[in-house]
Chain A
Amino acid sequence: MLKKLITPWTAWLALMGLILLGGLVAGVLVFWKGLGITNLTDLVPWGLWITIDLSSIALGAGAFSLCAGVYLFGLKRYQPIARTATFVGLIGYTMATLALILDIGKPERFWHSMVYWNTHSLLWEVTMCVILYLTVLLLEAMPILANLEWLRKRLPRIAAKMEHVHHYAPILAIVGLGLSSVHQSSLGAAYGVIKARPFWFKPEMSVLFMLSAIVGGISLTLFASMLSSRLTNKAKINDGLIERVAHFVGYLLIGYFYFRAWDALSITYAYDPGRSEGLDLITKGPLAFNFWIVEMLLGMIVPMILLLYKPTRVNRFWRMLALLLVAAGVVAFRWDTNITGFLVLMPYVPGQAIAYTSYKPSLVEIMTGAAIIAYGLTAFSLGVKYLRVVDHTLVEAEHAEVNVEATEPVVA
């Protein structure tokens, strides 16, 4: 009896449930006691939560990039991967929303950003885009959600309607591409326009955020698909497809590496107050391990080699490892970028030296953060089990049914 109950699946759900419960308790504490119980300060007002927020949006970027590829550039055969990416994106964006609700001091006023517009603010723009794009993702995910067995049996008409949304996939892909291009880069620009903090104040922030999001987002989707197929027979993948996209990620990594390295190392050309100190923090200071090892070596160079060198790319283990490393590297980039800008304190009293501050997330921040991640993992595993989120055999039938002409490949 007990043996039947404890399967890897139930153990996994139990573990996730435990983390979610801990996060719930911590989250209630945050709403009740306020942000005073976090380790955020007036000098470091954005910390762990904003990193989770930025990272889940970045790693959800596979949705728009792959949907654009499939529905706009005619790479129809990758449609099953785009399906998974859409679901990952939906999870990522809801994770970001959860993190933001925790992070703002007046969560009950979250709707103000939709009513009181400051069109000059990048944060306003990002909020609007994220809300609109979340709607697009929900629509894009309708055909996936329609796969729920219960829904198909009990409410077949609604399920059919939801599946019908697939007709509009090309239009949704256009809207999604537009909204994503805007807010993915605007998240970088949100830092890039802050002239008070020279480490951030540069136009290439938007380019870096956009590029890293595309690279990391596609990688996470591929990794999640491969991992699911190893763990359950509910997930059926076409490994050839994944390998080809992974090859493409390898090339993308060259571009990302070039920009990131050039962006960081160009700071060494001349001493620039604040900016040079920031570079010292990430290259020699407390963030050096993150920068050199997690971001540069493991996040870019190693996976670049693993994905471009055929024997390792074909090998499932090395390919999975490479894809996971890319995603982790993007998270490290978000963390390093956010925190470095805060740690360097620019003096405003003339002639005073640059000072430094520090930040370590508190227990409630870590517990709620872990719960947000656990929510994402739970949602994805439920999707794999009940919604055929990773199912590369599903595609032909679905396409034959709806016959979306606009997605006919232009180039065979």
Chain B
Amino acid sequence: MSDKNINRREFLKLTAVGVAVAAGTRAVTSTKASSDAPKGKHQWAMVIDQSKCVGCGYCTLACQAHNDVNPEIQWNKVLKDRVIGDKQVFLPRPCMHCEKAPCVEVCPVKASYYRDDGIVMMDYDLCIGCRYCQVACPYEARSFNWEKFEGENPAVPEWGYPEVERRPRGVPEKCSFCYQTIDRGLSQGKKPGLDREATPACVNACPTGARLFGDLNDPESNVSNALRNNPCYRLRENLGTGPRVYYLPAVDKQEA
């Protein structure tokens, strides 16, 4: 009797171990695949020159118009940085479109995902509204739709016309680098960052030219040039998220 018992028990134990190992192996391999950095022909990036930014907030308004954003939500937030001399320095903060985006990693349903060109996208139809992405984002770049955005958009038509669908109540939303403009522009043979028709709304709206947009894969693009010729930094770089938004600090320009 005891022999039979031990055999059965051993069998059960072995089965459990086997299943665990198999599941573990699968989890590890597929995990690696899902967090691979995107490799597309283009790798879009933004460069923001803080010495030029005057904090007017036109970028935010243009963004709200083109993406039909609730006036209570700002995909692109203009924050106050340090004061140098008697000059206030500003820091505009869109989504960083991280190379290793915490939001993409934590989303339970793959509603946050990478495009081949590096844009971190939201599938608002998949999202269940758990807000784990908001918890994980180091830049507070995501805003939840606590209420439905109804009525007129005060930024329209002065700052532009909506190009994307309004998001429903119950999902978080964020900057998309105006992917719709990039895609439409590319299909017309335009160059994002150079031709206005293919460039994100905030870049076009900036009156001082503080924002540059372009392809990191193209060594002659304006972003590649700017990053090659200027000192730059990224936000919370120590976290290893690899933001695609670079800042040219104001301080160096003044001292130079």
Contacts and interface: CB of A to CB of B under 8 A. Distances in A.
A350 interface: yes
A406 B9 contact: yes
Interface string B102-139: 10011111110000000000000011111110111111
A76 B237 CA distance: 55
B81 interface: yes
A124 B12 contact: no
A123 B8 contact: no
A177 B12 CA distance: 13
Interface string B218-256: 000000000000000101100110000000000000000
A109 B128 CA distance: 6
A106 B171 contact: yes
Interface string A40-77: 10110110000000000000000000000000000000
Given A34-B170, A118-B110, A124-B108, A349 B134 contact: no
Contacts of B147: 34, 36
B170 A118 contact: no
A110 interface: yes
Contacts of A175: 16
Nearest to B12: A174
A42 B144 contact: yes
Contact of B138 (A42, A196, A406): A196
Interface string A163-182: 00000001100110110000
A72 B170 CA distance: 44
A106 B106 contact: no
Contact of B130 (A103, A177, A178): A103
A35 interface: yes
A46 B133 CA distance: 12
Report whether over half of chain A's contact residues are helix, strand or loop; otherwise say mixed.
Answer: loop
A189 B143 CA distance: 24
Interface residues of B, number: 62
B170 A42 contact: no
Contact of B81 (A45, A119, A178, A349): A349
B184 interface: no
B91 interface: yes
A46 B102 contact: no
B194 interface: no
A176 to B, nearest CB: 11
Interface string A333-362: 000000000100010111100000000000
Interface size class of A (residues with CB under 8 A): 35 or more
B81 A408 contact: no
Nearest to A173: B12
B146 A104 contact: no
Interface centre among B30, B128, B129 (most CB of A within 10 A): B128
Contacts of A45: 131, 134-135, 144
Given A110-B128, A120-B31, A124-B109, A178 B235 contact: no
Nearest to A406: B8
Contact of A178 (B19, B128, B148): B19
Contact of A36 (B81, B128, B146): B146
A13 interface: no
Contact of B91 (A120, A349, A408): A349
A109 B104 CA distance: 19
Given A34-B147, A178-B19, A43 B140 contact: yes
A193 interface: yes
A255 B6 CA distance: 31
Given A109-B128, A346-B138, A178 B106 contact: no
The 6 closest A-B pairs by CB, nearest first: A105-B129, A105-B170, A196-B138, A124-B108, A36-B146, A45-B131
Given A46-B131, A194-B102, A405-B1, 13 more contacts: A34-B170, A109-B127, A112-B126, A113-B109, A118-B107, A118-B108, A120-B34, A170-B9, A190-B132, A193-B105, A197-B135, A349-B79, A351-B81
23 contacts: A34-B146, A34-B169, A45-B144, A105-B169, A106-B129, A109-B129, A112-B126, A118-B34, A120-B34, A121-B132, A124-B109, A170-B12, A174-B12, A174-B16, A190-B106, A194-B106, A195-B102, A342-B135, A346-B138, A348-B139, A348-B235, A349-B235, A405-B1
